[in-house]
Amino acid sequence: MTEGTGGGEIAVPLEVLARRLGRPPDEIVRLDSDENPYGCSLRVLEVLGSAESLHRPGDPEARDLRAALESYALCARDRITIGAGPAESLERVLRVLTTPGQAVVVPGPTRPLYAAVAARLGLRVVTAPLTRTFDVDVDALLRLLEDQRPAALILPAPNDPTGTTIGPTEVVRLLRTDLPVLVDESLYEFAGRSVAPLVTEFENLLVLRDFAVWAGLGGLPISYTLSARPLAAQLRQAAVFGGATSAPGRAAQLAALASLQDVAMLRTNVRALRQERGRLFRSLRKLNLLQPFPSDAHFLLCAMTRGNAAAVRDHLADHDGIIVRALATPALPNHLRISVGRPQDTDALMRGLLRIAEQHPL
């Protein structure tokens, strides 16, 4: 299950869930978190299992990883900056681009990470409401930028929890304001499109990416940004966080390198999840219980058409050991966010939801 954090929720560790539900961990179907159900590459386990240098800190410049990312990200290594997860990368970017008291614009609803990092840096957060279909209204956003004069704009692509993605044409319109635009592509592998090629054309564009979900490295936070060369150099020089280097540890760097050596297998897993996302969407639409929205991410946002999202979440957890996330915010007052799992996970979820729809007036 998940625990509320004032607009977002934190996934409870599997071991804690198992004790709470009285079930063995392997009987719990986890569809509430940002975990890859297929795990990481076996190459990662082999490399970390045989590494003899994990007691040493990681390379602050992450030279080997930046070199390896050139072919995967199709970006020169001097435009790449390695970070210790998306929160650290985001904080470093905002430290370089903003000063306390300035404003940053984010879409809403979106992941609470952006507001949390901005608040830690003393920044004002201005929310740009999404359309009824959860898309970015570029015309309205341009008017907001003109009115607020923020220091930066953050655009998740895909967005969490809506699963929607802004296209390159719309991003270009926003880049032409000369405002620094950070496009969070942490989940871009599931969307299949990117604005990264625009980095060579627009010096005010930054692209943030993460290894957590597509590569199954959620336990070893490691991320990277793509940007103009001068800004990338600034970001590498600003690699100080909490009084210590913010470069990811050696284990995380080795794991990311190993993942890039096994990209074909990891892409097979991503394709499997994208295919299962379609099957889950079609299955959920047949229920007289909730309405799923199309998604470019590894999850589906679902509006309850009858009943209460929290009640459905609790019933699935207590009776089936299936964990989904319930949302209850002004923008999403009665919604479920369901991560895509393996085919057997979808089957178990549908059995549980069908029983609820047929037997339990909610």
Q: How far is CA 193 from CA 4, 6, 85, 188, 331, in A?
A: 32, 32, 21, 7, 27
Domains of the chain listed by start with CATH number: 2-30+264-359 (3.90.1150.10), 42-261 (3.40.640.10)
Is the dihedral angle over the CA atoms 196, 198, 201, 203 positive or is it negative? Answer: negative
CB 157 within 8 A of CB 165: yes
DSSP state of 21: H
Full pLDDT tens readout for the chain, 362 residues: 554 333 345 668 888 887 888 888 888 999 998 999 999 999 999 999 998 888 778 888 999 999 999 999 999 999 999 999 999 999 999 999 999 999 999 999 999 999 999 999 999 999 999 999 999 999 999 999 999 999 999 999 999 999 999 999 999 999 999 999 999 999 999 998 999 999 999 999 999 999 999 999 999 999 999 999 999 999 998 875 444 456 788 999 999 999 999 999 999 999 999 999 999 999 999 998 999 999 999 999 999 999 999 999 999 999 999 999 999 899 999 999 999 999 999 999 999 999 999 886 55
Q: Tell me how many degrees the CA angle 297-178-228 measures, rounded to the nearest 5.
A: 70
Note the pLDDT of residue 5.
31
Q: How many CB atoms lie within 10 A of CB 127?
A: 15
- Listed in sequence order, the residues at least 6 apart from 9 whose beta carbon sits closer than 8 Å to its beta carbon are 2, 3, 32, 325, 326, 327
Dihedral angle, C-alpha 219, 224, 225, 226, nearest 10 °: -140
| Separation of alpha carbons 59 and 326, rounded Å | 40
Note the pLDDT of residue 242.
45
Note the pLDDT of residue 252.
95
CB 337 within 8 A of CB 299: yes
Q: Tell me how many degrees the CA angle 94-96-99 measures, rounded to the nearest 5.
A: 70
* Residue found by looking up tokens 């999850």 in the block: 299
DSSP-assigned states of every residue in 287-321: SSSEEEPP-SSSEEEEEESSS-HHHHHHHHHHHH-
Note the pLDDT of residue 196.
97
Please give the model's pTM, rounded to 2 decimal places. Answer: 0.93
Closest CA to 156 of 110, 93, 97: 110
Note the pLDDT of residue 240.
53
